[in-house]
Amino acid sequence: MRTALVASATALLLACGTTAAGSAPEPDNPWLGQRVMNMAHSGGEDEAPMNTMYAFERAEELGADMLELDVQLTADGDLAVIHDATVDDSTDHTGRVADFTMEQLRAMDAAHWFVPGRSTVHDDPDAEHPLRGARYGDVTVSGHEPSDFGVPSLQDVLERFPDTPVNIEIKGSGTPQSFLAAAEALGSRLADSDRTDLIVGSFDDAALARFHELAPQVDVSAGQQAMISYYLTDAPLPDGVVALQVPITYSGLRVVTRDFVDRAHEDGYAVHAWFSGSAPDDARTYGEVVETCVDALMPARPSVLEEVFADLGTERPTPGGTPPRSECALDQPTEPTDPGEPTEPGEPTEPTEPTDPGGPAEPTAPAPPSTGPGDDTTTPAGEPERPRVVQTDGISAAPAAR
C-alpha cells in the first residue's frame, strides 16, 4: 500500500517540506491502554446536532468513552466549538466564526439544519428538521435547556465534562495564520491544565508545534504532514505525539489496516480511526475497523458503534488501562491483504435496535423515520446521500473533512 500511496501523497509531502525530527513517546503511552474507545465524532453528527452540548451529553449517555470536537477562534479571542470557519452549515445564521463574539455564537440555533441520520441538510425541501428552534424554546427536549442547542465554547464543554476524555481539533479559516492564532489561544488556555485526558490534533503541523510549545504537558496527535511522512518513510514523529489519527481510506486506498496498526503500536503510538466521508459510517465498516486492532473509532453514529462493540464482545477501557485483546497482540500473525481492496468479512455485524440508554428524551416535534443501527448504509433508503461535512481548513490535500 505504501508504494501505491506515494503517487497521491508525494506531491503534498514535497510541498510541505520535511518534518522536524522528534522522539518516540514514552514506553508507557497511556493511550495504548485505552482500547477500544468510542470517540464520538462531533458528538455523533448523524445522530444529533454536531458539536452541541445536546450531542455530547447524548453520546456520553450512550456509552461513548471520549468526545471529539473542533475549535475555531472568535472575534473576542474565545474558542468556539464548531467545525467550519463559517456558521452557515450548522446554524440559522451566516458569516465567519471569526466575525462573531462567543456570546453571539451561543445565541445561534446550532440544530437548525440537522436531519437525523444525515447530519446537516440544506438542499432537500422534503427533509424534516425536528430540533429546529430548540435553541429558542420552540421545541422542548426533556432534560435539556435551550442553551444546549447553541454553539458552545470550549470552556463550556470542559466544565460540563470534567471527567470525560476530550479530543480537541484546532481548526482555521484557510490561512496558516488562522491556525496559528487558534493554536496560541488554545495553548494559553491549557498551559496550566492538569487534565491528563485531553488530546489536541490538527491537520496543520505548524499549529500543533506551536500548541505544544505553549502546553507541552498536553498530548497531541500527528499533523497531516507528519503522519504522511511517518506512513511513507517511517520518519520520526514530533515530540508530544502519542497517537496517529487517520482516515479509513486516503485517495481511495485503505489506510487503516492491521499491518499499519501493528507498526504504530510497535513504535509506541495509538491509532484512532476517523470516517467523515473516508468510509461509510455503518455497522459493517465499524466491525471491519475494530478487527484491525485500532485503539479508537470516531463514529458519526456512536449508538451503532456501541451495538457493534456489544455484538463483538469488544473490550472497553477500564480504570488503570486495558491491555490489547489476545488476537491483537503484536506477536500474533496477520494475514497479508491488499489494502486497495478492502477485505470482506465473513458475516456483516447487524446490531439489534438500540434500547433507551436513559439519555435525553426525544423532542416533542414530529419524529423523522428511524435510522436504526441495523442499517447497512449511511443514508436511509429513499433519501439523498448525506453530504460530507464541508472542509473549510484551506488544506486542499486533506482526504476529507475530519
Domain boundaries, the chain: 2-328
| Strand 114-115 versus strand 119-120 pairing type | antiparallel
Nearest by Cα to 276 from 378, 380, 178, 381: 378
- Distance, CA of 138 to CA of 131 (rounded, Å): 9
Q: For a pLDDT cut of 90, what percent of the chain falls above it?
A: 69
- Distance, CA of 185 to CA of 166 (rounded, Å): 17
For domain 2-328, is the CATH number 3.20.20.190?
A: yes
The pLDDT of residue 162 is above 60: yes
Check residue 398 and give its pLDDT. 40
Burial of 263 (0-12, 13-18, 19+ CB in 10 A): middle
Q: Which residues contact 93 (CB under 8 A, 6 or more apart)?
A: 87, 100, 108
Q: Would you say 184 and 204 are in contact if contact means Cβ atoms under 8 Å apart?
A: no
The pLDDT of residue 370 is above 90: no
- Distance, CA of 322 to CA of 34 (rounded, Å): 6
Confidence of residue 320 (pLDDT cuts 50, 70, 90): low
The pLDDT of residue 119 is above 50: yes
The sign of the CA dihedral 380, 384, 385, 389 is negative
CA angle 28, 29, 34 (to 5 degrees): 110
The pLDDT of residue 215 is above 50: yes
Q: Which residues contact 136 (CB under 8 A, 6 or more apart)?
A: 109, 146
DSSP helix/strand/coil, 273: strand
Segment 26-50 mean pLDDT: 92
Confidence of residue 344 (pLDDT cuts 50, 70, 90): very low
- Distance, CA of 182 to CA of 231 (rounded, Å): 27
| Mean pLDDT computed over every residue of the chain | 82
Check residue 338 and give its pLDDT. 42
The sign of the CA dihedral 242, 245, 250, 252 is positive
Q: Which residues contact 211 (CB under 8 A, 6 or more apart)?
A: 170, 183, 184, 186, 187, 200, 202, 218, 220
DSSP helix/strand/coil, 15: helix
Distances (CA, A) of 206 to 99, 145, 351: 24, 38, 42
Q: Which amino acid is at 29?
A: N
Q: Would you say 186 and 168 are in contact if contact means Cβ atoms under 8 Å apart?
A: yes
Check residue 135 and give its pLDDT. 98
- Distance, CA of 388 to CA of 158 (rounded, Å): 27
| Strand 219-221 versus strand 198-201 pairing type | parallel
- Distance, CA of 38 to CA of 317 (rounded, Å): 10
Q: Identify which has the larger pLDDT, 118 or 389.
A: 118
Q: How many CB atoms lie within 10 A of CB 315?
A: 15
Check residue 401 and give its pLDDT. 58
Q: Would you say 61 and 53 are in contact if contact means Cβ atoms under 8 Å apart?
A: no
Unique residue bearing C-alpha cell 438500540:
354
Q: Which residues contact 314 (CB under 8 A, 6 or more apart)?
A: 36, 290, 308, 325
- Is pTM, for the whole model, over 0.85? no
Q: Which amino acid is at 318?
A: T
Nearest by Cα to 2 from 229, 273, 222, 203: 229
Burial of 398 (0-12, 13-18, 19+ CB in 10 A): middle
Report residue 169 as a C-alpha cell. 481539533
Segment 37-61 mean pLDDT: 98
